[in-house]
C-alpha cells in the first residue's frame, strides 16, 4: 500500500503524522509539502521589484519547507517503510491530487483546518478539494486518532461494499480491527394504501434483506482476517450512523464517496459530507 502524507506544519498535520502508527507499513511513504508563495498585491509596484520580492519569499518558504520535511521525517514511527520526501510548488490541493495520481497512492493522510461559528468541525478548502478530487482513500484528521480497534462501516449498496472490500483487502491497518457493518433503511411506506400490520411486515422483510446483504459482506471480510459485527436499522442514514458510532464508541468511521463523470470526477454524497462534519470520531473516505 502506497501512502501520501501531506504536511503543512499545522497541529492537525502533526496529528496525521502520529496516526501513521495505526497503519500497516507502507510499500512507499511519500512525504509531501507544497509551497504556494503569494504574489505581491501591489499593482503600482515596479515589476522587477515585485519579482524580486516574490523570489525572495519563495526561496524562504522553500527553505522552511525543507526543514519541515526533515523534522517530520524524524518523527515518523519505526514501521513507516521506504520514505520519499517531496517539495512541490503550486496549489496545495492540485499538487496533492496530482502526486496521488502519479505515484498511484492508495491512501492520502493529512490534517484539516477550520472551526465553524458554532464549534462544528469544518474542513479547510484544501482538504475539501482533496476529498472531492483525489481518486483514492482519504483520511483527513480533524483531531487526534487515539486508538484504532473499532471501525464503523455503513454501506449504501453493492458499489459501496465492493469499494470497501477492495480497500480493506490491502490490509491497511497495523493492528487487528473489528469492522461493524451497518445498513440504514429510511422508514418509508409503500405508495399503495396498507394497514399498519402490513407496513410493519414490509419493513421487517426489508430489514432482513439489508441484514442478509451486510452479513454477506461481513463473511467476505472475515476471510480476509477481520472480525465483524452486522446490523440493519430503520431511520435517517446520517442520524443512525452517528447514533451507532456513539453507541459503539468506534474509533473510525469508513464511508464511501460517490463517483461521477466530468471535470469534478469525484464528489461526496450528502450522507458522507454530513458524517464528515458531525462524526464523534475520525472519518476515512474510500473510493
pLDDT at 263: 36
- Give me the pLDDT at residue 250, please: 98
Structural contact between residues 214 and 232, judged by C-beta atoms closer than 8 angstroms: yes
Helices then strands, each counted (H, E), the chain? 8, 12
Picking from 284, 214, 285, the residue whose alpha carbon sits closest to that of residue 22 is 284
Query: What is the greatest pairwise CA distance in the chain?
Result: 81
Which domains are delineated in the chain?
1-145 (3.40.50.620), 147-287 (3.40.50.620)
Q: What is the pLDDT of residue 268?
A: 59
DSSP H or E run through 140: strand 137-141
How much is the pLDDT for 261? 39
3-state secondary structure of 13: helix
User: 96, 134 in Cβ contact below 8 A?
Assistant: yes
- Predicted local confidence at residue 258, as pLDDT: 63
pLDDT at 16: 96
| Residue ranges in the chain whose pLDDT is less than 50 | 114-121, 259-267
Spell out the alpha helix ranges (H) of 227-269.
237-248
pTM attached to this predicted model: 0.88
Amino acid at each position: 500500500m502506497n501512502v501520501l502524507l501531506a504536511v503543512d506544519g499545522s497541529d492537525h498535520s502533526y496529528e496525521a503524522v502520529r496516526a501513521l502508527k495505526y497503519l500497516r507499513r507502507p510499500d512507499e511513504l511519500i512525504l509531501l509539502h507544497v509551497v504556494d508563495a503569494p504574489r505581491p498585491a501591489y499593482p503600482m509596484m515596479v515589476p522587477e521589484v515585485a519579482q524580486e520580492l516574490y523570489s525572495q519569499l519563495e526561496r524562504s518558504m522553500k527553505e522552511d519547507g525543507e526543514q519541515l520535511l526533515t523534522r517530520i521525517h524524524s518523527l515518523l514511527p519505526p514501521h513507516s517503510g521506504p520514505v520519499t520526501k517531496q517539495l512541490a510548488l503550486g496549489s496545495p490541493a492540485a499538487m496533492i491530487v496530482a502526486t496521488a495520481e502519479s505515484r498511484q497512492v492508495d491512501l492520502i493522510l493529512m490534517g484539516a483546518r477550520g472551526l465553524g461559528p458554532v464549534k462544528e468541525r469544518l474542513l479547510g478548502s484544501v482538504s475539501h478539494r482533496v476529498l472531492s478530487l483525489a481518486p483514492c482513500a482519504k483520511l483527513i484528521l480533524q483531531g487526534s486518532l487515539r486508538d484504532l480497534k473499532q471501525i464503523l462501516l455503513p454501506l449504501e449498496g453493492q458499489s459501496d461494499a465492493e469499494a470497501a472490500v477492495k480497500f480493506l483487502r490491502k490490509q491497511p491497518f497495523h493492528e487487528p480491527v473489528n469492522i461493524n457493518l451497518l445498513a440504514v433503511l429510511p422508514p418509508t411506506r409503500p405508495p399503495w394504501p396498507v394497514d399498519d400490520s402490513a407496513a410493519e411486515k414490509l419493513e421487517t422483510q426489508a430489514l432482513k434483506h439489508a441484514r442478509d446483504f451486510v452479513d454477506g459482506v461481513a463473511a467476505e471480510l472475515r476471510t480476509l482476517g477481520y472480525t465483524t459485527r452486522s446490523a440493519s436499522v430503520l431511520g435517517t442514514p446520517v442520524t443512525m450512523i452517528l447514533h451507532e458510532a456513539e453507541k459503539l464508541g468506534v474509533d473510525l468511521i469508513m464511508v464511501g464517496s460517490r463517483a461521477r463523470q466530468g471535470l469534478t470526477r469525484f464528489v461526496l454524497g450528502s450522507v458522507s459530507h454530513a458524517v464528515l462534519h458531525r462524526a464523534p470520531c475520525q472519518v476515512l473516505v474510500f473510493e
